[in-house]
Structures are given as C-alpha cells and as structure tokens.
Amino acid sequence: MLRPILNHSRYLVIAAVLGSLVAALALFAYGVIETFVVVAETVAKADVSSKGAKALALAFIEIVDLFLLGTVFLMIALGLYELFIEENLNLPPWLSIHSFDDLKNKLVGVVVVVLAVLFLGAVVAWDGSRDLLGFGVGVALVIAALTYFLSTAKSEKGKAEK
C-alpha cells in the first residue's frame, strides 16, 4: 500500500522543476530587458569617455551575472527532471545528468563562474573606498574550496569505477 505512494512521490519534484524554470525565464527576460535599457540609455546620453565606458562595462557585467544565474536555475530544472522524472531528454552530452553528483558538479562549476563574474564586477566598480582585498580573498577561498570539492569528487568517482 505504501509502495505506490512512494513510487509516485518522485513527481513532487515537478514543483521544483517548474519553479526553477520560472526563475530561469524571469532572469533571462530581465537580462534581455536590462540589456535594451542599458543600450538605449548609453545612446541617449552619448557620453563617450573612460568613465562612461567603465559604467557600461559594469552594467554589462551585471547583466551577464543575471544570465549566469538564469543558467543555474535552468540547469537545476533540467537536472532534477532528468533525475526524477525522465532520463532521456534531448540534451547536449555536456548537459546530460545521470546522477545527483553530476548535478552537483555542474552547479558548482557554474557557481565558480558566477563568483568570478561577481568579483570582476566589484573590481570594475571599485572606487577605492572599500576593502576589495578582503572581498577578493573571501571569493578566492570559496572558489578554492569548491574546486577542491570538484577535484575530490572526480577522484572518488574514478576510484569507484576501477
């Protein structure tokens, strides 16, 4: 009696899949709209200077950050769907997820890129008033820890396959 309920409970993940898809769509749409707004404001101001270029670069770095976060949510949606609902989605091989470890590893990789873009945005926006070194060290430590996590996960997977 409990077995059929547990077998079908995996479909509860559809709520997380739909929520992640909606979040990804919202971030992508917002990024596209923000891109048009930044371009329109830049053309309207016609401010061609090093300060204007720095502001434009910072705006586009923040937009790329939106797209990367949207990608994270999309990967979560696809990964959860592949793991719990249907394994045979028509995805490129680099995006295929066959285990929870695959999903974690792909997400950690994207999080590292998001952190790097976040730090790059802070560097571009830096005006000398705040401690960028402390922020950079913090980001570097998190990236180092995540890289170590990825390397140990890959080495453990290699040992298990032998």
Task: Decide if pLDDT at 15 tops 90.
Answer: yes
Q: pLDDT class for 31, splitting at 50, 70, 90?
A: very high
What's the number of CA atoms in the CB half-sphere (13 Å) around residue 147? 10
Specify the pLDDT at position 73.
93
Task: Decide if pLDDT at 45 tops 90.
Answer: no
With a CB cutoff of 8 Å and minimum separation 6, the contacts of 152 are none
Task: Decide if pLDDT at 161 tops 80.
Answer: no
Please state, in angstroms and rounded to a whole number, the distance separating the CA atoms of residues 87 and 75: 14
Q: pLDDT class for 104, splitting at 50, 70, 90?
A: confident
User: What digits encode the pLDDT tens for the residues 64-82?
Assistant: 989 989 998 999 999 999 9
Please state, in angstroms and rounded to a whole number, the distance separating the CA atoms of residues 127 and 143: 24
Task: Decide if pLDDT at 162 tops 60.
Answer: no
Task: Decide if pLDDT at 59 tops 80.
Answer: yes
- Regarding predicted confidence, which is higher, 100 or 14? 14
Where are the alpha helices (H) located in 10-49, listed in sequence order?
Answer: 13-45
